Chain A
Amino acid sequence: MPIKQYLTPILLAVITVLSLTGGYWVSQQTQKRLPRTPDTLGATVVPEARELIPFELINQDNQAFTQENLKHKWSLIFFGFTHCPDICPSTLKTLQTFWQGLSVPVRNKTQIIFMSVDPKRDTPAIMKEYVQFFEPSFVAITGKLDQVTAFTRSLGVMYEYVPQGKGDYSVNHSAQITLIDPQARLRAIFPAPHNPNEMRRSYNEIFDFYKKD
């Protein structure tokens, strides 16, 4: 019978086509891509969110701050130090303007974190007054030097101490703002320089795109 003879190959071909189509559809659904490219987005979005290594830092109230404190909210982290007169307060001002322009629902799902890479001088009390000058809800974190180093390295953030004589020093540091998603995973990087309005547009786009995750 000719029909019986061709039935199996036809069936196999249909199954193959369906499998390929279905596989492609699933891959498209799982590998979500932002509609804009990083150049126009103003942020470098990590294709696959990266888990952070476990860490234990302290916040401005001298309370433990771990990966658990990064969950359930989006976190924007800027790295600096309070003896920094220019870029650090300038960026915190940018983050203040960025923050104040967020819609309330987005703001409720967002936290701004200033991480000091100068734990020797930046005590919790100093950090608290420093960040709250810009916005009372801002969080400040630091830790022992080895913990600070481990945490920053895991995020690709660098810093180095630069002696300035008589025991004084400055700190060169990465200028980026790092975006952590509500599962405590590295999601994106906002490279410097930062414009609060452009950054907010990009952040809202990322927030909307991933909010169903």
Chain B
Amino acid sequence: MLKNRFTVMLLLATGLFSQIVMADKSIEVSDAWIPDAPSVAKVRAGYLTVHNNSKAVITISHFSSPDFKKTMLHNTVLKDGMVQMEAVDQLSIKPGGKVDFKAESYHLMLINPKQKLYNGKKVKLRIHLKDGKTSSFTAVVRRRGESNDNDHSQHDMK
């Protein structure tokens, strides 16, 4: 009986491990950052690049963060001289492709920070794919216009 339980646990652990490795190869988050903003700003933007390293289309369903009350995926659209913020239900990335979440384009809406955000502060975020896979990463708060647009993020997969 004990041996069977051990075998099941071993299989589960092996399966989980293989999913981590597989997911890790399929999706990559880089340069995740949050523009520094006045402390009175209740809603922050989140910018990052998501790479699809797999040979299949991946679909982002949403993002989450324990550091904000609510996290949404939005797109800034300029239409007839008007700026519109459109909620995005899901976003697909073709095999080998990437999507940039950046100013005046796709971005994260990070609503009501649970702690004070300041330049250099690291924030936890998680990307959720439609197939159930998720990946956690960190984003760093930094000033807009800084030229060091290199990779500030770290991520692991589940």
Partner of B74 from the list A86, A89, A97, A173 (CB cut-off 8 Å) is: A86
B139 within 8 A of A: no
Binary flags per residue of B37-60, CB closer than 8 Å to A gives 1, else 0: 111111111000000000000000
Q: Given A85-B109, A86-B107, A193-B104, are A173 and B83 also a contact pair (CB < 8 Å)?
A: yes
Q: Given A87-B104, A90-B144, A193-B78, are A172 and B85 also a contact pair (CB < 8 Å)?
A: yes
Main secondary structure of the interface of A (DSSP, over half): mixed
Q: Which residues of B are found within 8 Å of A126, using beta-carbon distances?
A: 40
When the two chains form their complex, are residues B39 and A172 in contact, meaning their CB atoms are under 8 A apart? no
> Taking each of A90, A126, A164, A176, which has the highest tally of chain B beta carbons within 10 Å of its own beta carbon?
A90
When the two chains form their complex, are residues A85 and B40 in contact, meaning their CB atoms are under 8 A apart? no
CB-CB nearest in chain A for B145: A93
Q: State how many angstroms separate the Cβ of B34 from the closest Cβ of chain A.
A: 9
A84 within 8 A of B: yes
Q: Given A174-B83, A175-B81, A192-B83, are A89 and B41 also a contact pair (CB < 8 Å)?
A: yes
Q: State how many angstroms separate the Cβ of B149 from the closest Cβ of chain A.
A: 15
Q: State how many angstroms separate the Cβ of A161 from the closest Cβ of chain B.
A: 12
Main secondary structure of the interface of B (DSSP, over half): strand
A23 within 8 A of B: no
When the two chains form their complex, are residues A192 and B43 in contact, meaning their CB atoms are under 8 A apart? no
Q: Given A90-B104, A90-B144, A175-B78, are A83 and B42 also a contact pair (CB < 8 Å)?
A: yes
Count the A residues whose beta carbon is within 8 Å of the partner chain — how many? 27
Partner of A133 from the list B38, B84, B85 (CB cut-off 8 Å) is: B38
When the two chains form their complex, are residues A173 and B82 in contact, meaning their CB atoms are under 8 A apart? yes
A47 within 8 A of B: no
B110 within 8 A of A: yes
Q: State how many angstroms separate the Cβ of B36 from the closest Cβ of chain A.
A: 8
When the two chains form their complex, are residues A130 and B41 in contact, meaning their CB atoms are under 8 A apart? yes
Partner of A89 from the list B42, B84, B144 (CB cut-off 8 Å) is: B144
> Taking each of A89, A132, A170, A174, which has the highest tally of chain B beta carbons within 10 Å of its own beta carbon?
A89
Partner of B103 from the list A86, A133, A191 (CB cut-off 8 Å) is: A86
When the two chains form their complex, are residues A87 and B110 in contact, meaning their CB atoms are under 8 A apart? no
Q: Which residues of A are found within 8 Å of B41, using beta-carbon distances?
A: 82-83, 85, 89, 130
Q: Which residues of B are found within 8 Å of A172, using beta-carbon distances?
A: 82-85
Q: Which residues of A are found within 8 Å of B104, using beta-carbon distances?
A: 86-87, 90, 193
When the two chains form their complex, are residues B40 and A87 in contact, meaning their CB atoms are under 8 A apart? no
A158 within 8 A of B: yes
Q: In whole angstroms, how far apart are the Cα atoms of A190 and B40 in the complex? A: 28
Q: Which residues of A are found within 8 Å of B74, using beta-carbon distances?
A: 86
Q: In whole angstroms, how far apart are the Cα atoms of A87 and B85 in the complex? A: 9
Q: Which residues of B are found within 8 Å of A97, using beta-carbon distances?
A: 145
When the two chains form their complex, are residues A85 and B83 in contact, meaning their CB atoms are under 8 A apart? no
> Taking each of A126, A162, A170, A176, which has the highest tally of chain B beta carbons within 10 Å of its own beta carbon?
A170
Binary flags per residue of A72-110, CB closer than 8 Å to B gives 1, else 0: 000000000011111101100100010000000000000
When the two chains form their complex, are residues B43 and A87 in contact, meaning their CB atoms are under 8 A apart? no
A129 within 8 A of B: yes
Q: List 17 A-B contacts (CB under 8 A).
A: A82-B41, A83-B43, A84-B85, A85-B107, A86-B74, A86-B76, A87-B83, A87-B104, A89-B144, A90-B104, A93-B144, A130-B38, A162-B84, A175-B81, A192-B78, A192-B83, A193-B104
20 other A-B residue contacts (CB within 8 Å) besides A85-B107, A172-B83: A82-B38, A82-B41, A85-B37, A85-B45, A86-B74, A87-B76, A89-B35, A89-B144, A129-B40, A130-B41, A133-B37, A133-B38, A162-B85, A164-B87, A172-B85, A174-B82, A175-B81, A175-B83, A192-B78, A193-B78
